[in-house]
Structure 1
Amino acid sequence: MRLIVAVACLLLVASCANIPEQTNAYVIPNSSAQPQQRVQLPDRDADPIMVVRKFIEDSGDTAMAEAYLTDEAKRLWRPDSQPTIVDDDFSTVPRQQAKDADPETASVEVKSTTKGRLDSHKSFIPQVKQDSGIVKLVRKDGQWRISETPNNAMIIPISSFTNNYRPVKLYFYDTSKEVPVPDQRFLPGSPLPSASEIISLLLQGPATGLQGAVHSAIPSSAVQRTNATTSTRDGATIVNLGMLGDQTIETKRAIATQIVLSLQDVPTTTVRLQVEDMPLVPDQPDWKVSDVQADGGRTTPRPGLNGMMVVGNRVKDLRDGKPIANPAGSGEYRVESAAQSVDGSQLAVVERLNNGEMQLRVGGLTEGLRAIQVTGTEMTRPTWQYPVASNEIGKEVWVVANNTINRAVRNREGTWMPLPVNQSEIEGFGKITELRLSRDGVRVAVVADGKLVVGAVVRANNSTDVAISAPKQLLPSITNVVGVDWLDNSRLVVATNSPTGPVWQVPVDGIQAQRYNLANLTLPLSSITAAPSRQIVVTDAVGMWTASDIGQVWLPHPQSQAQGPGARPFYPG
């Protein structure tokens, strides 16, 4: 008998020694759930109004919110469906009960201002409106508990949302399939993101608002073969995919870039990429963020490009105030606005003609500019698409003439051709007074009737067709917008003529804005420009001002006094 037991123990030890770092088990939902914490129960003496308020205030933490529900309501409640995010100042109003109503029941009306919701992709969708719903309660064992919520869904105040959800940037590719594009999502739970959750969202593809504008190198057939795990040997995050199909080495490296950039918020320095337990890229099993490039260096202006400004109908250097060596700087053209291409080689200007009309001119920075067949009585400042191919110079510029979006494209022969943009989805927002292409070219920010609107730029394959898709107004509380620019690919800076907030920083999904310092700015503001790793420059009633951070006091630009309030600064792009 002792011999049998000894042999059994030896077999058990041997089997344990052969357990690998990760197993071949398939992905288990919620495998990343953190250890459950002790939930504080509701106050025994809380009345219906307080129970409903605390339920909503705690709704960002599912475990805490469920403590306010009856057992039946817990089974019906859908906290992971598509939660609605509301302002913090919601109201809870008791409903008058009928005379013959059960005294052990109660109803409370919840009135709130909806900011938006999370969709099935975990993307924030702005949707500002006034809303109300009825919450029903029952008293059991002397305590009030919620028996029914509106549509069995979840309402989360914005403060609870920001405390309990974490933003995660997934990465896809622009039309060149070389430049990674951020796509922000929100995941509930602890401050540490789960690699499995992030990879699961990445495999589902881009958010609804970006579909058609971005692409994924990961085939739609791909799955997580096993849960993303942490190596017990060296702490690397192990991502094991399956059903990837036959892919070129270039595509595999593109897949690696997407995954590594998307896992930047995971507390790890190394990502071990596998397909069916084998390295995704045979000669490089492990990856770090330093192994991939975020944008290929083509979407951001070089440090040597100082920026320019339009002053007195001439284009000048933003650093020293001298006119540029171009007919646009000498006064040959009556320049109303201008834009320099991202690579710095090209210039586009809006010229006012003697008859009052405006026309677009485009050309090399060191040569005369050609008139393009884009004219109108009103025209926005131009904006450039970055050079898609690494060996290209700027060859596409956008402008709005008489509320019609135009793009001028240079063909292989060097001729600039005006081409249309399908703007049917954005027309309902009103007259366009500003339009800026994002630095990765997949989004467009628009000022329409003083509102801030962002949409996706959808380019048809093997066609010149381009359309603005899924436009959304961001933060209706920010009014009287006069200018906008891209701080980076996922944040905007906005200039307004609102005394409560002249300058704002707005995430591209519009979930919550941050106001820049009010000090020193004098309304009205007339323009704003921004670029990655550069100071923001705004022009107000006095002159140009600069700031780098949200809380920083605005300081006079070195050229402010010399150029005055008529200066219109711009960085390349």
Structure 2
Amino acid sequence: MTGRLLALLACVWVLSGCANIQDDTVPQIIPNSEAPTQKPPQGPAKDAEAITVVRDFIRNSGNTTAAQAYLTEEAKRAWHPDNQPTIIEDDFSTVPQSPDKEGDPNQITVEVKGTRMGILNQDKSFTAQQGALSQAVRLAKQDGQWRIAQVPANGLIVPLIEFNLNYRPVRLYFYDVTKSVVVPDLRYLPAAPSVTPSDVVQLLLLGPASSLDGAMRSALPRTATQRTNAALAKDNVLVVNLGDIGNPNREDKELIAQQVMLSLRDLASTVRIQAEGVPLVPERSEWRAADVQTLSDKTTPGAQYPGYVVVNNRMKSLKDLTPVPGPAGSGEYHVESVAQSGDGSDLALVERTNAGLQLRVGNTNVGLRVVYGPTTEMTRPTWQPGLSANQTGSNEVWTVADGAVVRLARTKDNNWYGLPVDYTSLSKFGKITDLRLSRDGVRVAVVADGKLYVGAVARTDNSTGVTIAAPKLVPRVTSAVSVDWLNPSTVMVATNSPTGPVWRVPVDGVEPERYSLSNLTQPLTSITAAPSRTVVVTDAVGMWGASEVGQIWQPFEGGQGPTAHAFYPG
């Protein structure tokens, strides 16, 4: 993955506010200095073979202006790319088809074969769709030169390398259903001639990606428009002038401003936000990314909570390996796995007993009560963050018990009870062996039959019902055994694949990155990750840590043997 894409996939949780626009400002277009330099279209080489014309057309298809040079004049007039390119692996083949004996020598069909990675949707979000691709391209002679006369499905086939060169990732920001937490939503816009602030605002106005329906919401009403294109004023401050936003209260105005500022922070350091030509929030003259408090504090584990490790079925601090006070650290509980809530206040612990596995939950300073079980199998628990507008209480804890997704909620009087969760979308994927909620509670990562899936946690206001929606297979990741969230946009997955034991994977699956193979010995059994923390895996020898792709794995906290498993809060 390119460094530019890596930098933009990293989640930066900064918020800001809004302000005034001077009456004498003159909008200007902001140039995109980070956009790749575009070469002028070269067109096909003279007397190029038909298969070469097709290959070069596909290689240039990330830039439709360049790609048009490979079409006949008639095809140019008929070609209206649907802006939903199919992204394929870089290696593909072009095979000429045998013409009929009485066929026209000035026409030929070339079959394109490759591996589909996914598509770019109309909302500019990427959806992974791994599988074989086979499409026929018809060519005709034009002035003695082969040109493409018919494009398959009137669309685009773009190799991944060209997609990375010609499309720029853009992070939009929305909220969870209670509007308590900001959540990134990754999109991709053509980089030529440039990505403008107006392009970004327009996508923001359209709302979250369709795959996140019910999991995210916008503070902007669906009626909202750009009254004028977002552009620079004379003093080089970006002006965003919104229209048709209704009559939001003060809180919603600030949420709107935060959304806009976050989504534009890669293009502008200061933004004035207007509604119908007047300041959205009268008290704020300008909004800057560094001016505001972050909302990510609610979901990023604090440094005072270093995490835990289970060694020989006893629970210890990951900081210094001291046993935790009480039965979890003394050996009274036969501990299998642990999850600490993001705010550090509670534990969920899977205990093995003579009757089977059971789930205990409680405050870190008091006893842990049994809330579920016994069962034969149970995955490591995972916490849903506190949702202020959730009538079921302040927290939820999830696990998978004997193949069923279990969701438990805490009442105001600190009791726990089961709540419905519709996970039928996962049933076709096979046995679930790991399930992790993102720390913002909006997404879910699932390992089922050795494959990795990422979906949305769809909720309805004032409803106890939850649906795991639109889970998508992550290509390239096989033999998966464990997954955890590195940040709101990225998961880490441990596998027993010979091609790579540990992968960093963006939530849309565009291009997973392989961590170093050095020092790890299969089988791997677990992984834990969190923002700004060392990724820790357990292999056949013990625990190992690494902080970046390419870094050599180092023994973590003395290794502690192959039965040791580390757990960060979440």
TM-score of the alignment, normalized to the shorter chain, above 0.5: yes
Contact map agreement 2:350 2:378 (CA 8 A) in 1: yes
Shift, 1:35, TM fit: 11
- 1:568 is aligned, of 556, 565, 568, to 565
- In 1, the alpha carbon distance for the partners of 2:108 and 2:372 equals 68
Matched position secondary structure for 2:300: coil
Shift, 1:55, TM fit: 0.2
Matched position secondary structure for 1:566: coil
Equivalences for 1:312-391 in 2 at 5 Å? Answer: 312-355=312-355, 357-389=356-388
Shift, 1:191, TM fit: 8.5
- Residue 499 (structure 2) pairs with residue 517 (structure 1): no
* Identity rate, percent: 54
Provide the residue aligned with 1:87 in structure 2: 89
CA RMSD of aligned residues (A): 2.2
Shift, 1:73, TM fit: 1.3
- In 2, the alpha carbon distance for the partners of 1:76 and 1:390 equals 52
- In 2, the alpha carbon distance for the partners of 1:41 and 1:192 equals 22
Provide the residue aligned with 2:70 in structure 1: 68
Larger Rg: 1
- Residue 419 (structure 2) pairs with residue 419 (structure 1): yes
Matched position secondary structure for 2:124: coil
Shift, 1:372, TM fit: 0.6
- Residue 229 (structure 2) pairs with residue 227 (structure 1): yes
Which segment is superposed worse, 97-106 or 402-411? 97-106
Matched position secondary structure for 1:38: coil
Equivalences for 1:293-304 in 2 at 5 Å? Answer: 293-304=293-304
Shift, 1:20, TM fit: 4.1
Contact map agreement 1:85 1:117 (CA 8 A) in 2: yes
Cα distance per residue 1:146-168 (max 9 Å; x no partner): 11011111000011001110111
Give, as a single letter, the amino acid of the residue that structure 2 aligns with 1:252: K
Matched position secondary structure for 1:549: coil
- In 1, the alpha carbon distance for the partners of 2:245 and 2:360 equals 48
- In 1, the alpha carbon distance for the partners of 2:23 and 2:467 equals 53
Q: Aligned in 2, Cα 1:191/1:378: closer, same or farther, shift over 3 Å?
A: farther
- In 2, the alpha carbon distance for the partners of 1:464 and 1:518 equals 44
- In 2, the alpha carbon distance for the partners of 1:115 and 1:324 equals 46
- 2:119 is aligned, of 105, 117, 120, to 117
Contact map agreement 1:178 1:296 (CA 8 A) in 2: no
Provide the residue aligned with 2:110 in structure 1: 108
Q: Aligned in 2, Cα 1:366/1:320: closer, same or farther, shift over 3 Å?
A: same
Q: Aligned in 2, Cα 1:483/1:151: closer, same or farther, shift over 3 Å?
A: same
Q: Aligned in 2, Cα 1:34/1:536: closer, same or farther, shift over 3 Å?
A: closer
Shift, 1:175, TM fit: 2.2
Cα distance per residue 1:111-163 (max 9 Å; x no partner): 11111001111110111111211111111112111110111110000110011
Provide the residue aligned with 1:247 in structure 2: 248
- 1:39 is aligned, of 28, 38, 41, to 41
Cα distance per residue 1:374-414 (max 9 Å; x no partner): 43100000011122349999631111100111111110111
- In 2, the alpha carbon distance for the partners of 1:353 and 1:253 equals 51
Shift, 1:78, TM fit: 3.0
- In 2, the alpha carbon distance for the partners of 1:552 and 1:462 equals 46
Provide the residue aligned with 2:406 in structure 1: 406
Q: Aligned in 2, Cα 1:458/1:390: closer, same or farther, shift over 3 Å?
A: closer
Provide the residue aligned with 1:531 in structure 2: 530
Which segment is superposed worse, 44-53 or 283-292? 283-292
Provide the residue aligned with 1:461 in structure 2: 461
- In 2, the alpha carbon distance for the partners of 1:87 and 1:346 equals 45
Contact map agreement 1:341 1:347 (CA 8 A) in 2: yes
Matched position secondary structure for 2:483: strand
Shift, 1:37, TM fit: 6.0
Shift, 1:192, TM fit: 5.1
Shift, 1:494, TM fit: 0.5
- In 1, the alpha carbon distance for the partners of 2:25 and 2:147 equals 46
- In 1, the alpha carbon distance for the partners of 2:490 and 2:420 equals 27
Provide the residue aligned with 1:499 in structure 2: 498
Contact map agreement 1:193 1:265 (CA 8 A) in 2: no
Contact map agreement 1:261 1:294 (CA 8 A) in 2: no
- In 2, the alpha carbon distance for the partners of 1:156 and 1:492 equals 25
Shift, 1:557, TM fit: 0.7
- In 1, the alpha carbon distance for the partners of 2:39 and 2:353 equals 70
Shift, 1:34, TM fit: 11
Matched position secondary structure for 1:228: strand
Cα distance per residue 1:239-291 (max 9 Å; x no partner): 1111111011110110011111111221x211111112211111113111123
- In 2, the alpha carbon distance for the partners of 1:325 and 1:178 equals 33
Provide the residue aligned with 1:279 in structure 2: 279
Shift, 1:80, TM fit: 4.2
- In 2, the alpha carbon distance for the partners of 1:126 and 1:153 equals 17
- In 1, the alpha carbon distance for the partners of 2:251 and 2:295 equals 16
- In 2, the alpha carbon distance for the partners of 1:35 and 1:536 equals 36
- In 2, the alpha carbon distance for the partners of 1:117 and 1:372 equals 43
Give, as a single letter, the amino acid of the residue that structure 1 aligns with 2:245: L
Give, as a single letter, the amino acid of the residue that structure 2 aligns with 1:137: L
Give, as a single letter, the amino acid of the residue that structure 2 aligns with 1:465: G
TM-score (norm 2): 0.92
Q: Aligned in 2, Cα 1:546/1:283: closer, same or farther, shift over 3 Å?
A: same
Q: Aligned in 2, Cα 1:35/1:418: closer, same or farther, shift over 3 Å?
A: closer
Give, as a single letter, the amino acid of the residue that structure 2 aligns with 1:21: T
Give, as a single letter, the amino acid of the residue that structure 2 aligns with 1:53: R
Question: Higher RCO, 1 or 2 (CA under 8 Å, sep at least 6)?
Answer: 2
Provide the residue aligned with 2:470 in structure 1: 470
Shift, 1:300, TM fit: 0.7
Provide the residue aligned with 1:263 in structure 2: 264
Shift, 1:231, TM fit: 1.3
- In 2, the alpha carbon distance for the partners of 1:172 and 1:461 equals 16
Contact map agreement 1:111 1:130 (CA 8 A) in 2: yes
Provide the residue aligned with 2:555 in structure 1: 556
- In 2, the alpha carbon distance for the partners of 1:553 and 1:191 equals 40
Give, as a single letter, the amino acid of the residue that structure 2 aligns with 1:484: V
- In 2, the alpha carbon distance for the partners of 1:425 and 1:534 equals 32
Shift, 1:293, TM fit: 3.9
Aligned residues: 543
Cα distance per residue 1:174-224 (max 9 Å; x no partner): 122021111100001248531111111111111011011111000000001
- In 2, the alpha carbon distance for the partners of 1:148 and 1:61 equals 18
Matched position secondary structure for 1:379: coil
Contact map agreement 1:314 1:331 (CA 8 A) in 2: yes
Contact map agreement 1:343 1:393 (CA 8 A) in 2: no
Give, as a single letter, the amino acid of the residue that structure 1 aligns with 2:441: G
Give, as a single letter, the amino acid of the residue that structure 2 aligns with 1:529: T
